[in-house]
Amino acid sequence: MNQKMNPQLLQFAKSMRHAATDAENLLWQLLRAKRFMALKFRRQQVIAPYIVDFYCHEVGLVIKLDGGQHNTENGQAYDVERSQFLEALGLTVVWYWNHDVLSRMDVVLEDLWNVCCEYKDSHFK
């Protein structure tokens, strides 16, 4: 991940920050500025060749939010390939449906809390 970043990929990630979905905006308000478990999250983070929705370096966590377009055969294949790549880097990947973020945020945050606690428990004993 220390390689020089592709400037076009960085620009695309920046443009994605300005065109965030409602679900991304809502979750970002809860994650930004260390509001969630005092963890620093970044949004639309480049982990070449991918751009992930949210990333926390401290716990090696990638959060993906997906809409209905990911519920296709091609979308699912792409998601598996991306997850395998990120997991090969030692990252944990969790994903949530946009609908769940918008209508069941309490469930999403509880799951995210458990994932982060599990990481902290296993790495700080």
* pLDDT tens digits, one per residue of 93-121: 999 999 999 999 999 999 999 999 987 76
pLDDT of residue 97: 94
Distance CA 81, CA 22 (A): 26
CA distance 110 to 89: 25
pTM over 0.75: yes
| Cβ 63 vs Cβ 112: under 8 Å | yes
Q: How confident is the model at residue 6 (pLDDT cuts 50, 70, 90)?
A: confident
As a whole number of angstroms, the distance between CA 44 and CA 18 comes to: 10
The answer regarding whether domain 7-123 maps to CATH 1.20.140.10 reads: no
Q: What residue segments make up the domains of the chain, in order of their start? A: 7-123
**Amino acid letter, 105:** M
Inter-residue contact 90 to 107 (CB < 8 Å): no
Each residue's pLDDT tens digit, 17-63? 888 999 999 999 999 999 999 999 999 999 999 999 999 999 999 99
Query: What are the two backbone dihedrals, phi and then psi, of residue 121, each rounded to the nearest 5 degrees?
Result: -65, -40
- Distance between CA 98 and CA 84 in Å, rounded? 22
